[in-house]
Structures are given as C-alpha cells and as structure tokens.
Amino acid sequence: MIHWNTPTPPKTPFYASIFTYYLSDDLEGYTEYDEQTLELVTTMPGYLGYESLKHNGRGMFISYWKDMESIQAWGRHPKHLEAKKLGIQRWYKSYNSMIAEVQHWREQ
C-alpha cells in the first residue's frame, strides 16, 4: 500500500527511488533513524509518498517524487547522509538503490 503525501495520488510521470536491502546483525540505532528519516522525508519539497516492506531481514523502501531535483535534494540532506553512512557501516549486509520514472500507474 502506498502512503501518498496528499489525499489524491499524483499524475504521471513521477519518479520512484527504490532501495532494497539485507539487514546486518548490528542494528543499534536503526529504528530511531528509520523513524526520524521517514518523518523528515515527508517534509521535503517534491516528496509524493512511500511504501515499505520488511521480512526476515530483507526490506524494500520505495519513495515517490515529483522530479529528479527533489530526489537529489533529499540525497544531500544532512540527516539522510548521516543515515546512509551508518547504513553502510553497520545496518546493511548489502543494498541496492535505483531510480525509475513512472510513466503509468493504476490503483486497484
């Protein structure tokens, strides 16, 4: 289920930033950063919504954005940079990140 930032889903095209990961055994501080960055991202200009899945140490977080500039601004945010650094050092065994342009979207 997508948690849109507005009552009405956006019109296409828009962008999806897709982050998949395997968690490590060292999750000290992970939950706090996860909550803080999720709260913070919702305040970013161009942010449209997100969906998140976690199961048995594997996860996926997809954030939706109006444009590439908005994604890049989030990527430069100091709190997000700090979380990325800790993720690489501690929280993730491995991860992948990709950005896709959404040309068509339909909710059922």
In this predicted model, what pLDDT tens digit does every residue of 62-108 receive, in sequence order? 999 999 999 999 999 999 999 999 999 999 999 999 999 999 988 76
β-bridge partners, 82: none
Provide the whole-model pTM.
0.92
Q: What is the CA radius of gyration of the chain?
A: 14
Q: Look at residue 15 and give its three-state secondary structure.
A: strand
108 occurs within a structural domain: no
What whole-number distance in Å separates Cα of residue 70 and Cα of residue 67? 6
Q: The domain spanning residue 80 has which CATH number?
A: 3.30.70.100
pLDDT greater than 90 at residue 9: no
In this predicted model, what pLDDT tens digit does every residue of 41-65 receive, in sequence order? 999 999 999 999 999 999 999 999 9
What is the reported pLDDT for 16? Answer: 97
pLDDT above 70 covers a percentage of the chain that reads 99
Domain membership of residue 94 as a residue range: 3-102
Number of domains present in the structure of the chain: 1
Task: Name the residue among 67, 34, 70 with its Cα closest to residue 52.
Answer: 34
pLDDT greater than 90 at residue 1: no
Q: 17: Cβ–Cβ under 8 A, 6 or more apart, which residues?
A: 62, 63, 64, 65, 71, 74, 97, 98, 99
107 occurs within a structural domain: no
